Amino acid sequence: MRINQLINNHSFTLLTNTPDDVLINNVVACDLLSHVMANADEGDVLITVLNNINVLGVASLLDLSLVIFSYNINVDDSIILKANELNIPLFKSNLTTAEVVYLLKEMDKTIE
């Protein structure tokens, strides 16, 4: 799946500058950042409700493709500004974490 598929999907709202259309490898849904660091791989998407600047640190360290905040979390402006500096795309969704995971997996099935 690619980031542009999220931009064009009404279930997701882009919070940062328009990103390059990079590939998303896999999905990690977790709010415990140490667990994310131990289990996520480069190019993965992180789904979380954790509205914390440390999410960007982990995303940057692991070179994640993007972060999605589920449950319509209102992301702090300082996090959005820092994400733009780091070129980490941030999205939010009104869906639950489980619904976002399911939707991403379904979207991935429709790719050639």
Average pLDDT over residues 69-77: 97
Cα–Cα distance, 112 to 1 (Å, whole number)? 10
Number of domains in the chain: 1
DSSP letter assigned to residue 95: S
Average pLDDT over residues 87-96: 98
User: Whole domain around residue 21: which residue ranges?
Assistant: 3-109
Domain containing 36 — which CATH number? Answer: 3.40.1390.20
Pairing type for strands 13-14 and 90-92 reads antiparallel
Rounded to the nearest angstrom, the gap between the alpha carbon of residue 20 and the centroid of all alpha carbons in its chain is: 14
Q: What is the pLDDT of residues 43-53, one digit of tens each?
A: 999 999 999 99
